[in-house]
Structure 1
Amino acid sequence: MRTTRMLAVAAVALAVAATPAAAHAQASTAPVAYHGLTSAQQTQKFQELSGKGYVPVSLSISSGPSYAGVWVKSSGAAWAMFQDMSAQGYQQRFDEYSVKGYQPTVVTATGSGDAARFAAVFVKKSGNFIARHNMTIEQLTSGNLDAMAKGLMLTSIDVYGTAGAPTYAAIWTPNTSGVKWHVTYDLSSADHSAAFKLRLSNGYRPAYVAVDPGGTYTTIWRKDKVDSWFEYTGMSSSGYQSRFNELKTKGYYPAQVNSEDGKYAAIWTK
């Protein structure tokens, strides 16, 4: 397969041919995860990993900006990654790539107002989807109801803005298996732990966790089955690394990682 890459200086644009593997079982080697990278280091990591046939399945931009990501090795459908974009820049990339048959699979943002910065992964694939950003919590709640009515589910979410005025970016994709799902917003660490225990007892699990400005959590919960997984929140950079090292020895790797203001949340699977 011929591989192409594009790298621009302003609002760094990265693109390569590959497959957006949805599960680690599809990967031929262990996933690669990193965190605390500058924009320049993120660009270097893209060049290194895309050159080895890896694709990003999780991406987070936080204040700094600082990047965290998870990549798996696979090949197939074309995909593109863009980083350090303004909200307008993200919209322009969305419009540009939508007409080419691409859909966003991950969108992440940090900061507020004109200073907000975005990063996103687009994949060339068919099917219905909804992607929106710069939403209030009321707009996100309405978006969830609209998506459910259309047979879609929330699969990517990030929270930016400020603690007093959080702003949301989200992607909804087909809920082909009819999985029950819902979202909790702006929960403190204690409230998130209580929600975790309650939802776990009702058969739900955290499928995506975002760290909000101010250190609260927004979580997508799904009532589906994953054989073995771990979720940890409230981690510092070193705490996340310690958990990574500990779980790696047991055969677990991050499936999703998110951070803001030096605080990390992540989900590990085998």
Structure 2
Amino acid sequence: MKLLYTIIWVFTAILSPIRAQVNSWEAQHRLDSNQYQTPSNDHVSIPSIRAQVNPWEARYGLDSNQYQTLFNDLVSKGYRLNWVSGYTFNNEPRFASIFEKKSSPAWVSHHGMNSRQYQQKFDTYVGQGYRLVLVNGYEVQGVDNYVAIWDKSPSGQWVARHGMSPSDYQNAFNTFVGQGYRLRHVSGYAVGNEARYAAIWEKTNDGIAWVARHGMTSSDYQNAFDGYVSQGYRLVVVNGYQVNNVDYYAAIWDKSTSGPWIARHGMTSSQFQAEFDNNYYQGFVLQVVSGYDLGQTDVYAALWVNPVMKGSDLDTINNNIQSYMDQNSVPGLSLAITQDDRLVFAKGFGFADKASSTIVTPKSMLRIMSISKSLTATAIMRLRAQGRLKLSDRVFGPGSLTSDKYGNLLPIVNGLRQYKPGITSITVQNLLEHQAGWGDNADPKVFLRTMSPAEAVSKTLATVPLQYQPNQGHKYSNFGFLILGRLISDLGGVSYESYVAQHVLAPSGVTKMQLANDGGPIDNEVTYYPLGVTNGWRIHEFDSFGGWVATAIDVCRFSTHVDGISTKPDILSPSIESEMWQASSLDNGYAKGWIVNRPLNNWRGHNGGFGGTGAFFTQRTDNSKIGFMVVMNTNPQLDGASWNLRALVDGMISKVGAWPSYDLF
């Protein structure tokens, strides 16, 4: 059982009506990320986006003790319980809950009550002026149990019933609706092999049209869902329950206003977690979660609402990315966007693994390949700031930064290593700017099939001559950055990976980025396509020129600490950052581990590409203060360097009306 420990934000703005489109599940209840769309909303004003926020937490899969511990802790911190679902898994009670930190009328809640205990609590609290706002039933060892919330919020006349058979519920429904009541909440559950219902009705004159259905199979529910949404209704309550190993659904739709919304049902624990992660980083707020068992599996139905982004803006993002993926046969893609050093949006698209239908989420780990060069360059500049090197320092030969350490395979004549012509003139700056003299003739990937990076450096020095003299030409060189990785290790006193982790990533708040594991995928790493595309390559050994694996969010987190924007402290001084971004004398489009001045001098960043990977991260240098990272688990033939993707994302961002004011980091 996977438990959810995530703090997210609630937004209290009231938004305009939606025109919803929420796509259906497949028959097997597998999420198809390519079918996932966000409802449209073209009428939300920009000021509404910058709404008041309240922190809230959502958890699922909690046993009774865990739930009580969580309840006590959060209530003591000023949280209020908004929603709780009781259900049974492996014959034991479980709970899914949503808490919000906000001011609230007096409220009380209890769980684990049998029918008699629930009725006693009900009578007591109603006698004290409380009203019932939520009741969910569930079966434990053949006995119906209840979890409920009462509060003293204002309301019209209301009635509640529990333990109703389907016919009892239908009769009560008809009676109360006939008297002018509206169904506010419904819970389906089983006692033995029979369905039971608990429900709350309230008399209201709000004039909002509504419909409700119960006892629906999964296909019935999907058909009803599609029909009502096409008529302009939105889902406000969904409850899943199991009777005789068949999942059923009770739901309420109405024509009230909201932001864009998403509903899913029949999700396994892992699918729900993936959907939760994806929706959270787009600004969606979890409003309803219903847990229920299906065979030996716990499954979930849930409803999210987005009060911070316009549906039209979400459509712009989704449609542009999906179009690119369709045109380039991209299985999966991850995108993260920042503004003014704040993470304002992130989403996974498509599949992290097609065979298991695992979707990409913002927490998916992907190889970033040559974007590793910007990390390496930043580490070199950290060493420069620490006084351990100068960019003008020579790298090889007597009196250099490495002396003769990597010349051990070269012959010695008259006591001197016999480096090939020009090598002892190479400086740190030459390596950073791809002006050291090597080109395609020095491909370290081949040697790294069997050698360590240090061995590959020594082997190349002994066997591969320069194509041109240092500082006399510009040719992109992975080998030059492999050498820089050895400098970082030698001068930093730890391994290359450790130095970058300690002096670049940790100060940026990044803790999970790491070099690839050639023995298999790391946690949450995607599958790369076509399958087997990098078999035989040792990506871990690409370290300083292409070995890092990261989430799109963590690349953005690093980027916000080396971008010249003062909202968050940078890990380099402004003068050293400027030095790092200064274009080389021989290529105005490349600086020191960073692509610059393209196009129109308004962005910098780097791309990354290899078998199974295409990626680009960008910092805009205009007044928008926008940055983004996009990475795929394939390297499209039509866009092998990801330049088209970078331009598409950049243009797409320009079409978004406004970004939320929160920081999802």
Q: Fold match, TM over 0.5?
A: yes
- CA separation in 2, counterparts of 1:129 and 1:82? 20
1:174 Cα deviation after fit: 3.3
Q: Which has the higher helix share?
A: 2
Secondary structure of 1:50's aligned partner: helix
* Structure 2 alignment gaps of length 5 or more: 1-9, 14-51, 307-665
2:270 is the counterpart of 1:238: yes
Point out which structure has higher relative CO (alpha carbons under 8 A, 6+ apart).
1
**Structure-1 residue corresponding to 2:149:** 121
Name the CA shift for 1:235/1:198 in 2 (closer, same or farther; >3 Å).
same
1:260 counterpart = 2:292: yes
Could you give the per-residue CA deviations for residues 94-151 of structure 1, whole angstroms, max 9, x where no partner exists?
0011110011111011117961111100102453111100111222222222322333
**1:191, CA displacement in angstroms?**
2.1
The answer to whether the aligner puts 1:42 opposite 2:67 as a matched pair is: yes
Residue 249 in structure 1 maps to residue 278 in structure 2: no
Deviates more, 1:26-35 or 1:101-110: 26-35
Q: Distance in 2 between matches of 1:241 and 1:143?
A: 36
SS at match of 2:12: helix
The answer to whether the 8 A contact 2:130-2:152 is kept is yes
Q: What amino acid maps onto 2:78 in structure 1?
A: G
Deviations 1:221-270 (A, max 9, x none): 21333221100000011111111100001001210111111121010012
Equivalent in the alignment of 2:133: 105
Other-structure match for 1:193: 222
Q: Give the structure 2 partner of residue 25 of structure 1.
A: 12
List structure 1 segments (4+ residues) > 6 angstroms apart after TM superposition: none
For 1:259 and 1:217, the matched residues in 2 are separated by: 11
Letter in 2 for 1:182: V
8 Å CA contact 1:32, 1:71 repeated in 2: yes
1:76 aligned residue: 104
Distance verdict in 2 for CA 1:266–1:139, change over 3 Å: same
Report the Cα distance in structure 2 between the residues aligned to 1:71 and 1:84, rounded to whole angstroms: 18
2: distance between equivalents of 1:248 and 1:110?
A: 28
Secondary structure in 2 aligned to 1:116? strand
CA displacement at 1:78 relative to structure 2:
0.6
Q: For residues 102 and 248 of structure 1, what CA distance do their matches in structure 2 show?
A: 33
Residue 60 of structure 1 corresponds to 85
Q: Which has the higher strand share?
A: 1
Q: Percent identity?
A: 29
Deviation of 1:30 after TM superposition, in Å, equals: 3.2
Question: Does 2:205 match 1:169?
Answer: no
- Supply the RMSD in Å over aligned alpha carbons: 1.9
1:69-97 Cα distance to aligned partner (Å, 9 max, x none): 11111123110010110011000000011
Per-residue deviation at 1:186?
Answer: 2.0
For the residue of structure 1 that corresponds to 2:123, the secondary structure is helix
CA distance, structure 2, for counterparts of residue 203 and residue 147 of structure 1: 25
The secondary structure found in structure 2 opposite 1:92 is helix
- Give secondary structure in 2 for the equivalent of 1:206: strand
Letter in 2 for 1:33: A
Deviation, structure 1 residue 24:
4.5
User: Structure 2: how far apart are the matches of 1:75 and 1:49?
Assistant: 14
- Cross-structure match for 2:478: none
**One-letter amino acid of the structure 1 residue matched with residue 134 of structure 2:** V
The match for 1:51 among 54, 65, 76 is 76
Q: What one-letter code is carried by the residue in structure 2 that aligns with 1:145? A: N
Which of these two proteins has the greater Rg computed from alpha carbons? 2
Q: Which residue of 2 aligns with 1:11?
A: none
Instruction: Return the alpha-carbon distance in structure 1 between the equivalents of residues 171 and 150 of structure 2.
Output: 24
Cα gap change, 1:122/1:221 in structure 2, threshold over 3 Å: closer, same or farther? same
Structure 1: 5+ residue stretches without partners: 1-22
Amino acid aligned to 1:44? T
Q: Classify 1:95/1:59 alpha carbon distance in 2 versus 1 (closer, same or farther; 3 Å).
A: same
